[in-house]
Amino acid sequence: MSWLNQALAITLMNLRNLPGRLGASLVIVVGIAGVVTVLVALLAMAKGFESTLKSTGHDDRVIVLRGGANNEMSSVISNEHAAIIANMPGILKTDKGPLAAAETYVIADIKKRSNNSDANLPMRGVQPNSFLIRDETRIIEGRNIEFGKFEMIAGKNAANQFQGLDVGNSIHIRGADWKVVGIFSSAGNVHESEVYVDNVILASNLNRGGANSSMILTLESPLDFDRLEQALDADPRLETTIKRESTFYSEQSEGVTTLITRFGYSVAFIMAIGAIFGALNTMYSAVSTRSVEIATLRALGFGAAPIVISVMIEALILALIGGLIGSVIAYLVFNGYTASTMNNVTFSQVSFNFSVTRELLVQGITWSCVLGLVGGLFPAVNAARQPVTVALRGM
């Protein structure tokens, strides 16, 4: 009998005996299921945050900031400069003029619905062109703001996250009472965590003297980015930084995504050590109770290699079952789960949905297989190396 057939025969025998070792086998399954659930859940958090910010980006839209600024909070663009920028080449023109809008981005302290604690609500002053540029914006409740009034519309995630953002309510922010007239969606991107108000009213209320935070522009074509950038650089009146919207929000997500990912792997690694020790203990016990059985097989002519393979396959199958269970739990419990975290660039709350992707599920199952192989390796080698005569004396 070839070593492959020997390994198959021993493996089948081991698997048929699993019901008799159900309690011990569950230690491996449950331990690895826990590791995979936690790993996939934490990585799904990072993936969801990253997807929310990256989904905001469009290659034919650009954001203009003050030179040297890397976010809207630290940027200032005057009305005078905004008018110059709006007439630069490469910007899409309509019968109402170029698709360009100056905006103001500030933070307001509002209490969260979940725990009544203070949190940072992103507040964006917009212009009529802002809605033409961000054409994914849809009013899902109430109506849009009327410019020239202290009115506000809230992104649906912001409305779920913060107190008082209900249609018909008035909310006191930065020394003024704003009436919430509508709730909007924007294809699941980061703007659903913001509130929109009239940019002129907001700037006046803040006494900013005609200073905006940034500009949002639509290009005639994504290929016009370089042409616009060169025109801005060539104008001695301006000192600006221009970024594609997709690049801007991708950079905004990097810090938090990296932090959550590293934390996820760290926690999973610590739990994995415990799962490996559980698997080692279980497999050593399983091998110990079958020492006479293994010795008998060796005496009948079965080789050491098939025995090693059979024990490792048993551990791998148990780990794989645990990985599949953990992946299913992570998907059912966390996929689409809404959470919020602090954007470490703007220090504002960003709501997002956990995203359990196929890639993360495969990664979790791969981890389970590795843990199973490591947990089964040493007990398998120990079983194969045990002298036949020593094991048979235990009969």
Lowest mean pLDDT among 78-92, 137-151, 227-241, 312-326: 312-326
Give the pLDDT band of residue 395 (cuts 50, 70, 90). very low
Mean pLDDT, the chain, integer: 82
pLDDT of amino acid 353:
79
Strands, E assignment, 222-374 = 240-244, 338-343, 348-353
Could you read off the pLDDT of 98-118 as tens digits, one per residue?
A: 999 999 999 888 888 878 888
Segments making up each domain of the chain, as ranges: 3-54+253-392, 68-238
For residue 122, give both structure tokens: 């992103």
Strand partners, 182: 142, 153
The predicted structure's pLDDT at residue 18? 59
- For residue 179, the model assigns a pLDDT of 95
pLDDT of residue 72 exceeding 70, the answer is yes
Q: What is the pLDDT of residues 300-326, one digit of tens each?
A: 666 666 667 777 777 788 888 888 999
In the numeric block, which tokens belong to residue 280?
Answer: 């080692």
> Max CA-CA distance within the chain?
96
Strands annotated E in the chain: 61-66, 77-78, 93-94, 97-98, 100-111, 118-126, 138-142, 151-155, 170-173, 176-185, 195-198, 211-212, 214-218, 240-244, 338-343, 348-353
Asked whether 162 and 190 are in contact (CB, 8 A), the reply is: no
